[in-house]
Amino acid sequence: MAQPDYATLMDAALRARDHAYVPYSRFAVGAAVLTANGTIFPGSNIENAAYPMTICAERVALFSAYAVGAADIVALAVVTDTAEVASPCGACRQVINELAPNAQIVLFNLRGAQQLTTIQALLPHGFGPAQLKE
């Protein structure tokens, strides 16, 4: 496949960030995943008064794609308003490892910083489907 359309994907992540529900942390995160056929699924973090029920933007985007059978994810973009680009939390890394192991991951902020990475770099030696095989 050709190089993913990162600009469009990043724009979707930016727009998703506007819909973050973050009354507790005030830390808005936007994410978007791109599938092989060019479909984009956005996600934002959605918090809860029972704090642990909060879900990160990355997982909302990934679960939205899988919920309609869109499993061939080629790229994931994540945006925060931080000095440096923010990196997915441990829980999200585990989910990315499961649901988007081949994705190019673009981390960026509102100030123009950008980092391209992979789940292999973010979660080396991760536990995944292969380990369940006897």
Q: Does 123 bind ligand THU (CB under 6 A)?
A: no
Q: Could you give the CA distance from residue 33 to residue 78 in angstroms, rounded to a whole number?
A: 9
User: Distance of CA 66 to CAs 2, 7, 22, 102, Å?
Assistant: 23, 23, 24, 15
Question: Binding residue for ligand THU (CB under 6 A) from 10, 34, 62, 92?
Answer: 92
Nearer to ligand THU, 54 or 118 (CB): 54
Q: Does 58 bind ligand THU (CB under 6 A)?
A: yes
> H/E element holding 29?
strand 29-35
Task: Please identify, using beta-carbon distances, which residue of 54 and 117 lies nearer to ligand THU.
Answer: 54
Considering the rule CB under 6 A, would residue 35 count as an interface residue with ligand THU? no
Which among 47, 76, 48, 72 is positioned nearest to 61, based on CA atoms?
Answer: 76
Is residue 27 a contact residue for ligand THU (CB under 6 A)? yes
